[in-house]
């Protein structure tokens, strides 16, 4: 290396790498790739869904911090996949916690309740792997003491309908589990908002904020923040269940026998397609893997693409792997 005396050091050659920071509805995202699409282009049609609560009744939502931070010994894709669409783990993984929490969700423990799997919300996936599952009319269902929260949602709903229309008013009142590809997940209704920072292939650092509507009064926001810490905070009852799964999934997938297999992600396949009322691909039930397939489809696409231009070239054909194009045409009145 060339030797320089102190006066010859070029400070422009030093310092941290530049990061692009862009905002969507006041939520800030960073990206190190100068060639990547803008945040708005990257979110694409998913912004239509996010506007449900990022605009909502007018003032939208925000995060309460500072974020809590914790380490999990798992691959980043396990929690991203879990949040993007895993509805069917709840009765087993969270059986004990659901019993302790009580309320109407206690019936889900051990899958005792007779779940109407074919009529329980929907799943969505859009370009760039973003996706979520929604249970209709269940936004606040995780909260056992929720009268004030229910009243807030009821008061907001007419304004949301006026601002955004009936489809998104229905989503506003639903419970979402969501991942923005690659590593930002949230539970709308349960009020947890997370970033899964990879620290290598087998460890992540989890940052957790509380997601609230800006129009909530301070007392309700504080109550929700406390509830979110108990459920999905660093030592939260439900995150402890999920974290154990995330770590053991990562560990077991390193085993010789498991590595001989392939990823099974076919639940609800072909019970999905373009929908007249929503952008992207829509799966017929919350219990399914439509949003998983969207997540891994894009993961595979960017692993193979050498440059963003190769990704952009598929913007009009990305959803062709969802082959049942007429599913909703044939099932709109029955599904
Ligand atoms: Fe879970």
Instruction: Kindly indicate whether the domain formed by 62-331 is annotated with CATH number 3.90.380.10.
Output: yes
Q: How far is the CA of 232 from the centre of ligand 1 (A)?
A: 9
User: Which segments of the chain does DSSP mark as H helices, in order?
Assistant: 39-43, 46-54, 77-85, 90-93, 95-101, 147-164, 166-172, 218-232, 237-252, 256-259, 290-304, 308-312, 327-331
* 82 vs 144, higher pLDDT: 82
Determine the distance separating the centroid of ligand 1 and the alpha carbon of 183, expressed in angstroms.
16
Ligand 1 centre from 306 Cα, in Å? Answer: 35
CA of 280 to the centre of ligand 1 (A): 25
Walk across the sheet containing 281-283 and list its strands: 61-72, 204-213, 192-198, 184-188, 175-180, 131-135, 122-125, 281-283, 272-274
Note the pLDDT tens digit of each residue in 265-318.
Answer: 999 999 999 999 999 999 999 999 999 999 999 999 999 999 999 999 999 999
Task: Give the three-class secondary structure for 116.
Answer: coil
Q: 94 C-alpha to center of ligand 1: Å?
A: 7
Q: Burial, 313: exposed, middle or buried (Cβ in 10 Å; 0-12, 13-18, 19+)?
A: exposed
Q: Please give the residue that has the higher pLDDT: either 130 or 114.
A: 130
Note whether 251 and 88 are within 8 A (CB).
no
Compute the distance from residue 290 Cα to the ligand 1 centre, in Å. Answer: 18
How far is the centre of ligand 1, averaged over its atoms, from the C-alpha of 133 (Å)? 13
- Domain parsing of the chain, residue ranges: 62-331
DSSP 8-state assignment for residue 38: P
Measured in Å, residue 192 CA sits from the centre of ligand 1 at 12
Spacing, Cα 165 to ligand 1 middle (Å): 31
For residue 64, is pLDDT > 70?
yes
DSSP code, position 105: G
CB 273 within 8 A of CB 324: yes
| pTM of the complete model | 0.94
Q: What is the CA(67)–ligand 1 centre distance, in A?
A: 20
Nearest to 43 by CA among 160, 163, 129, 133: 129
């Amino acid at each position: 290396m060339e030797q320089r005396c102190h006066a010859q050091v070029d400070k422009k050659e030093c310092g941290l790498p530049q990061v692009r920071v862009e905002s969507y509805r006041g939520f800030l995202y960073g990206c190190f790739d100068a060639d990547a699409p803008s945040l708005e282009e990257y979110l694409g049609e998913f912004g239509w869904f996010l506007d449900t609560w990022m605009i909502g009744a007018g003032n939208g939502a925000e995060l309460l911090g500072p974020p809590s931070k914790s380490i999990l010994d798992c691959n980043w894709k396990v929690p991203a996949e879990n949040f993007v669409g895993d509805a069917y783990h709840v009765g087993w993984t969270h059986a004990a916690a659901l019993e302790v929490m009580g309320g109407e969700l206690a019936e889900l423990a051990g899958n005792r309740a007779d779940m109407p799997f074919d009529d329980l919300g929907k799943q969505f996936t859009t370009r760039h792997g973003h996706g979520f599952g929604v249970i209709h009319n269940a936004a606040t269902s995780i909260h056992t003491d929720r009268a004030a929260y229910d009243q807030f949602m009821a008061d907001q709903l007419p304004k949301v309908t006026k601002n955004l229309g009936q489809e998104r008013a229905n989503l506003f009142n639903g419970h979402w589990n969501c991942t923005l590809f690659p590593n930002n997940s949230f539970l709308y209704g349960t009020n947890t908002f997370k970033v899964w920072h990879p620290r290598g292939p087998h460890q992540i650092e989890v940052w957790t904020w509380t997601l609230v509507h800006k129009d909530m009064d301070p007392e309700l926001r504080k109550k929700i923040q406390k509830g979110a810490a108990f459920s999905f905070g660093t030592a939260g009852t439900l995150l402890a269940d999920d974290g154990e799964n995330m770590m053991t999934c990562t560990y077991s997938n390193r085993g010789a026998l498991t590595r001989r297999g392939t990823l099974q992600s076919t639940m609800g396949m072909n019970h999905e397609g373009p929908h007249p009322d929503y952008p992207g691909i829509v799966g017929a039930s919350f219990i399914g893997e439509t949003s998983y397939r969207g997540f891994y489809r894009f993961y595979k696409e960017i692993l193979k693409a050498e440059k963003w231009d190769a990704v952009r070239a598929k913007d009009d054909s990305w959803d062709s792997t969802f082959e049942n194009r007429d599913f909703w045409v044939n099932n709109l009145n029955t599904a």
